[in-house]
Amino acid sequence: MKNLYTKEKLTEEINQVRKQIGHEELEIHIEDIYYNEKENELWIITQDRPDKSAIIGKGGWVVGKLKEKLKINSIHVESYGDYLTKEYKLKLSKKTLDEFNSDLTGIQNLKKILSSKLENIYSFDYNSYFESNVFKESEKTEAVVALSGGVDSSFSLILAKYLGFNPTAVTIDPGTIILPNQYKRNIKKLTDQLNAGHEYIKADYSEIIRESLNGRFHPCGRCSKHTEELINQYAINNNIPIVIFGDMLSTGTQCITPQEKGLYRLNLPASLAVGKQENKSLTQQFDLQSFSGFGCPLLYEVHRKYPYLKKYSIQRILRETRSSALEVGEALDLIWSFYNTKD
């Protein structure tokens, strides 16, 4: 396919599709094309985001029709500027981990996957990578993974397992108003398939729940802080050197940071500058239940009672969008979920 389609020919095909569905033809600037024959996937790297938008089309209609026309399993459209940003973040992560100077098995393997991703910045695929790179697991547990059953924490546990951290997953359980049962089903399915150790810790979040339902504050900040404290204490009590969180924002220099008593926090998805689509591509093979919007019933009840608090949730979504962890369409879906609820 790479030999069959030049930039000019592909631009012609795109404009033919645009014309067929009633869109105007445009001068589209393509920086590079990459085709993965094994997966029958095509990457189109545009010179800028407006070119990316022209190829995707409104509601993804153009790229969807293009995929059908070319008989491609999947087409990924990215702007060259986004790749430059990702490359810079990955280089900072590698520098930070090199300076960390640890001989932990998982950290050494994380450096290897970082280097491989930098070498294959356009087309790196986690599933393909782990098919051809099987790492020996550490004899000792090197990391505790904070597992909620959502996509980000599930991705973190899968990656920690594959990288040889020999992780133990820990879930803080404040009750179903924060951790619904469907997330517990995901947790069991994932830990069983990975043969990973797992433990629930019952916790009292009654003050956070009560005060947020009274409109005193938005719950996410205090809830996250308390969860982090409990996870950290578990790791300290069990002499485990690393705690892993599914944070996607703390990239580069902040991907691994010291905590109390010699503990380190590793933001695993952020260390690899992972986007939501990459995240989903690795987790989907485990057949986990997916959820629209945020998974916390407490948050939606706070939104219902105090609509002005939605702005803090939207700010969080915008932060992830600015960092390229979320695509614009994904961000809009999350924001819309705040308004697509019954009173």
Is residue 152 included in any domain, yes or no?
yes
What's the pLDDT band for 343 if we cut at 50, 70, 90? very low
**Sign, CA torsion 133/278/96/248:** negative
**Assigned token pair, 190:** 């994932």
What CATH code is carried by the domain that includes residue 185? 3.40.50.620
Global confidence as pTM:
0.86
pLDDT average, residue stretch 29-44: 86
pLDDT of 279: 82
Sign of the Cα pseudo-torsion (137, 190, 181, 311, in order)? positive
Q: What is the pLDDT of residue 170?
A: 98
Residue 107 domain-assigned (yes or no): yes
What is the arithmetic mean of pLDDT over 236-265?
Answer: 93
pLDDT band, residue 284 (cuts 50/70/90): confident
Domain membership of residue 87 (yes or no) is: no
Predicted pLDDT of residue 329: 76
Please report, as a single letter, which amino acid is at residue 306: Y
166 is a domain residue: yes
Q: Are residues 73 and 132 in the same domain?
A: no
Measured distance CA(10)–CA(69) in Å, rounded: 11
> In this structure, are 64 and 200 located in the same domain?
no
Query: Residue 1 pLDDT more than 50?
Result: no
Question: pLDDT by residue (tens digit) across 295-325?
Answer: 899 999 999 999 999 999 999 899 888 877 7
| Arithmetic mean of pLDDT, 99-125 | 92
Residue 91 resides in a domain? no
Position 89 in a domain: no
pLDDT at 302: 95
Among the candidates 21, 51, 81, a domain finishes at 81
Rounded Cα distance between 272 and 268, Å, is 7
Between CA 168 and CA 198 the distance in angstroms is 6
Using CB atoms within 10 Å of the CB of residue 343, give its burial: 0 to 12 exposed, 13 to 18 middle, 19+ buried. exposed
In a domain, 207, yes or no: yes
Same domain, 40 and 180: no
Q: What band does 251 get if pLDDT is binned at 50, 70 and 90?
A: confident
d(CA 97, CA 103): 11
Alpha carbons 238 and 243: distance in angstroms, whole number: 12
Dihedral angle over CA of 291, 292, 296, 298, nearest 10: -140
Q: Is residue 172 part of a domain?
A: yes
For the CA atoms of 233, 237, 243, 247, the dihedral, rounded to the nearest 10 degrees, stands at: -20
Rounded distance, CA 55 to CA 38, Å? 24
pLDDT at 260 over 50: yes
Co-location of 234 and 148 in the same domain: yes
Q: Where are the beta strands (DSSP E) in the chain?
A: 30-36, 41-46, 74-79, 143-146, 168-173, 197-202, 242-245, 256-258, 264-267
- Mean pLDDT value of segment 172-200: 96
Determine the average pLDDT of the residues in 84-108. Answer: 93
On whether both 244 and 299 belong to a single domain, the answer is yes
Q: Cα–Cα distance between 201 and 170 in angstroms, integer?
A: 7
Structural domain containing residue 238? 103-337
Residues 107 and 75 in one domain: no
Least confident of 49-58, 165-174, 209-218: 49-58
Give the span between the Cα atoms of 48 and 308, in whole angstroms: 36
Q: How many CB atoms lie within 10 A of CB 312?
A: 15
> Do 101 and 122 form a contact (C-beta atoms < 8 A)?
no
Q: Residue 48 sits in a domain of what CATH number?
A: 3.30.300.20
Mean pLDDT of the chain: 90
Parallel, antiparallel, or unpaired: how do β-strands 242-245 and 197-202 relate? Answer: unpaired
Domain tally, the chain: 2
**Residue 341 has what pLDDT?**
53
Confidence at 4, pLDDT banded by 50, 70, 90 = low
- The mean pLDDT of 283-305, rounded to a whole number, is 88
Q: 128-160 b/e with 16+ CB inside 10 Å = b?
A: bbbeeeebebbeebbbbbbbbbbbbbbbbbbbb
Domain boundary residue, one of 48, 81, 114: 81
* Cβ-based neighbour number of residue 109 at 10 Å: 21
Residue identified by tokens 């569905």 is 21
Shared domain for 76 and 137, answered yes or no, is no
If asked whether residues 32 and 167 sit together in one domain, one would say no
Q: CA 24 to CA 7: how far, in whole Å?
A: 19
Residue with more model confidence, 1 or 70: 70
Q: Which residue has the higher pLDDT, 321 or 107?
A: 107
